[in-house]
Amino acid sequence: MAGGRLGASDCERVRPGRIAQPVNAATSAAYFAAACVVVWRCWDRAPDRRPEVVVYAKLLGLVAVGSLAYHGPQGHRSKPLHDWPIPVLLGVIGITPLVRQRGGSAPLPGWTRARRAPLAVTAAFAGLAYLAGRTGSPVCDPDCPMQLHGAWHVLSAAAFVQVADILYGEGRPG
C-alpha cells in the first residue's frame, strides 16, 4: 500500500491503474442507490417537503460521486469531493428538526418506535464496519474481495435511508 495515497487508511490495497480500490469504489454506488430510494420512498409521503427531499437526495448523490472518485481514479479533486458532502449532509440532518421545531412543525415526523431499533442496529453495524475496515484493524486484509470499508458504505447508505424515513416519513411506516 502506498503511503500517503488516498484511501490508504481504508484497508483495501491501493492499486495502480484507473481504479485504485475496486471494492470500495464499487460499493460507493450504495449512496447513489440510497438517494434513489429516498426520493422513491419520501416523494409522495411528504409532498410539502419535496424540496428538502431533493436536497437530501442530491447530497447523498454527491457522497456517492465523492466516494467513487476517492476510491476510484483518485484525481487531484477527489479528496475534497469525498470529504465535504458528508458533513454537509450530517448538518442538514441535524439542522432540519431544529428549523422545523422553531417554525412550529413536528421536528421528526417519522420518528416512531418501529424505526428506532432498526436505525440503531444499522448505525451500530455501520460504525463497527468502519472501525474494522481501517488499515490498522486486526481484521484488515488488504487483498480480500470482501472489504469492511465497503460494508461501511452499504450500511451507512442504508442508515441514511432510515434517517430520511424519520425526517420525511410523516409518521407512516416505511
pLDDT at 170: 65
pLDDT at 4: 54
**Per-residue buried b or exposed e for 41-68, using 16+ beta carbons within 10 Å of the residue's own CB:** bbeebbeebeebbeebbebbbbbbbbbb
| Per-residue confidence in pLDDT tens, the chain, 174 aa | 334 578 889 999 999 999 999 999 999 999 999 999 999 999 888 888 899 999 999 999 999 999 999 999 999 999 999 999 999 999 999 999 999 999 999 999 999 889 999 999 999 999 999 999 999 999 999 999 999 999 999 999 999 999 999 999 865 544
pTM above 0.85, yes or no: yes
Torsion of CA 137, 138, 141, 142, to 10 degrees: 30
C-alpha cell read off for 138:
486486526
pLDDT at 3: 42
